[in-house]
């Protein structure tokens, strides 16, 4: 129409609705008459090709396009067959006609110009039309990255039967992941791929394994947080910190992840006793009071360890409101802890055990001292005497035969016994 050919414009407009009408037959008759009368040589070549296509004689055009100088590729030739050879037709019929054109030399074969291998798109079309062909066999011939992305594209198309089995999809995904995780620059891509796994348990396990192996304190977290839950990332950072013996950092990451139980365990196993030994317990008290105590019901061993340390630190800071019974109960818990020490994984377990034993002994010594200070002065009553004997019996068990216990025995306990004599 832009070139002033109104007749051709009308023919093209009718091409979308010519199926089942006499339109094609009339065009075929016109072309036949021109050929018989040798009139076609007087018609513009491009115009004649348009008439041939509209009449369904697409082979005339595709045959000329097989020359190396022609820029028309195989998919354009297939499109002509699909839309104009017999009018709009089904893809299986169009592929059959196209294949016959290739055999007759009327169309270019569907091959990749760079590799001279069958074009993947053509194979997918054949796969779609032939139920006997397996998608797995097609994808297995491709590089892992192309195969995975192609399968993802096919899976997103509704109402089509090209689907991998869950097992085959998992295998394809793992092959692709093995290439991505080999390069630390592609961790976010690897996580995205892992999150496409269908099984919930496998998806989470795979993504978290990638995080635990490749995420460090220097890894940019913003791209990862857009793909996986931040709690998974914090867990991975906590494990990395533990491997580097950065226990304070590990506790912080567990707290950010809301994993109160693991934060408690790391605090008790690696931080509490060194802090007590250095007399630098401000950070320990802050974690216990501010973070762990409000979630104590979620911590399995809170009453055995965390609560004991917290009670001791509060007693050290202030004796206000403390009773003899409370202090003795605290001593009983410390004594039980000392009798059943934790087995901590450490580079120097002997040293760690010695520090823990020394701190527990010192804690028991201080607990005993406070209990004696809180005990009321002795009176002549029988009840008071029995209470004093009970207290001495309990406190005697707290004092251990080591350097802390012997020093205390010499300085305080003998004098206390003389008071009750």
- Report which of 110, 182, 175, 100 is spatially closest to residue 136, judged by C-alpha positions: 175
* Domain spans of the chain, in order of start: 1-55
- Report which of 389, 400, 394, 391 is spatially closest to residue 363, judged by C-alpha positions: 400
Average pLDDT over residues 74-79: 86
State pLDDT tens for residues 350-398: 888 888 888 998 898 898 888 888 876 554 344 544 555 556 666 666 6
Average pLDDT over residues 280-286: 94
What percent of the chain has pLDDT above 70? Answer: 80
pTM: 0.67
Residue 420 CB neighbours (<10 A)? 14
pLDDT at position 414 over 80 = no
Cβ distance 338 to 401 under 8 Å? no
Backbone phi and psi for residue 287, each to the nearest 5 degrees, phi listed first: -65, -45
Cβ distance 253 to 237 under 8 Å? yes
pLDDT at position 291 over 80 = yes
pLDDT at position 16 over 70 = no
pLDDT at 402: 47
Residue 300 CB neighbours (<10 A)? 10
pLDDT at 265: 95
Poorest-confidence range of 23-37, 233-247, 282-296, 394-408? Answer: 394-408
Map tokens 């097992």 to a residue: 167
pLDDT at 412: 47
pLDDT at 251: 97
Cα angle value 262/264/231 (rounded, 5°): 40
- Distance set, CA 65 to CA 42, 68, 182, 242 (Å): 21, 8, 45, 67
Q: How far is CA 345 from the centre of its chain?
A: 28
Long-range pairs for 204-207: beta carbons < 8 A, 24 or more residues apart: 204/232, 206/177, 207/232
Higher pLDDT, 37 or 13: 37
Q: List b or e across 355-367, with b for residues whose CB sees 16 or more CB atoms inside 10 angstroms.
A: bbbbbbbbbbbbb
Sign of CA dihedral 173, 174, 176, 182: positive
By CB neighbour count within 10 A (0-12 exposed, 13-18 middle, 19+ buried), where does 260 fall?
A: buried
pLDDT at position 97 over 50 = yes
Name the band, by pLDDT with cuts 50, 70 and 90, for residue 230. Answer: very high
Backbone phi and psi for residue 118, each to the nearest 5 degrees, phi listed first: -55, 135
**Three-state secondary structure along the chain?**
CCCCCHHHHHHHHHHHHCCCCCHHHHHHHHHHHHHHCCCHHHCCHHHHHHHHHHHCCHHHHHHHCCCCCCCCCHHHHHHHHHHHHCCCCCHHHHHHHHHHHHHHCCCCCCECCCCCCECHHHHHHHHHHCCCCCHHHHHHCCCHHHHHHHHHHHHCCCCCCCCCCHHHHHHHHHHHHHHHCCCHHHHHHHHHHHCCCCCHHHHHHHHHHHHHHHCCCCCCCHHHHCCCCHHHHHHHHHHHHHHCCCHHHHHHHHHHHCCHHHHHHHHHHHHHHHHHHHCCCHHHHHHHHHHHHHHHHHCCCHHHHHHHHHHHHHHHHCCCCCCHHHHHHHHHHHHHHHHCCCCCCCCCHHHHHHHHHHHHHHHHHHHHHHHHHHCCCCCCCHHHHHHHHHHHHHHHHHCCCCHHHHHHHHHHHHHHHHHCC
Average pLDDT over residues 62-91: 77
């Amino acid at each position: 129409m832009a070139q002033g050919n109104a007749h051709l414009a009308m023919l093209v407009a009718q091409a979308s609705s010519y199926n089942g009408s006499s339109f094609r037959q009339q065009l075929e008759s016109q072309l036949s008459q021109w050929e018989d009368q040798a009139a076609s040589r007087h018609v513009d070549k491009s115009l004649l090709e348009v008439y041939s296509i509209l009449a369904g004689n697409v082979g005339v055009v595709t045959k000329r396009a097989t020359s190396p100088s022609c820029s028309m590729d195989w998919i354009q030739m297939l499109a002509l067959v699909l839309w104009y050879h017999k009018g709009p037709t089904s893809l299986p019929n169009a592929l059959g006609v196209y294949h016959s054109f290739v055999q007759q030399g009327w169309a270019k074969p569907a091959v990749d110009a760079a590799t001279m291998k069958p074009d993947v798109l053509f194979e997918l079309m054949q796969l779609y039309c032939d139920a006997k062909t397996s998608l797995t066999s097609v994808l297995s011939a491709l590089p892992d990255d192309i195969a995975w992305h192609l399968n993802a594209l096919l899976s997103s198309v509704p109402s089509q039967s090209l689907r991998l089995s869950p097992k085959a999809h998992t295998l394809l995904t793992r092959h692709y992941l093995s290439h991505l995780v080999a390069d630390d620059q592609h961790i976010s891509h690897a996580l995205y791929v892992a999150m496409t796994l269908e099984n919930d348990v496998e998806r989470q396990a795979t993504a978290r394994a990638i995080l635990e192996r490749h995420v460090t304190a220097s890894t940019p977290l913003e791209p990862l947080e857009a793909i996986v839950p931040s709690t998974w990332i914090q867990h991975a950072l906590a494990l990395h910190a533990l491997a580097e013996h950065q226990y304070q950092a590990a506790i912080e990451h567990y707290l950010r992840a809301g994993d109160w139980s693991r934060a408690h365990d790391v605090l008790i196993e690696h931080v509490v006793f060194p802090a007590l030994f250095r007399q630098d317990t401000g950070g320990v008290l802050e974690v216990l009071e501010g973070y762990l105590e409000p979630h104590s019901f979620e911590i399995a061993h809170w009453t055995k360890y965390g609560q004991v340390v917290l009670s001791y630190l509060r007693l050290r800071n202030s004796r206000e409101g403390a009773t003899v019974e409370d202090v003795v109960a605290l001593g009983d818990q410390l004594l039980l802890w000392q009798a059943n020490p934790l087995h901590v994984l450490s580079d120097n377990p002997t040293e760690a055990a010695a520090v823990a034993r020394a701190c527990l002994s010192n804690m028991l010594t201080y607990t005993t001292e406070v209990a004696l200070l809180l005990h009321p002065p002795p009176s002549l009553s029988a009840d008071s005497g029995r209470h004093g004997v009970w207290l001495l019996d309990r406190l005697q068990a707290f004092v251990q035969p080591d350097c802390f216990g012997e020093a205390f025995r010499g300085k305080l306990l003998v004098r206390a016994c003389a008071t009750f004599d």
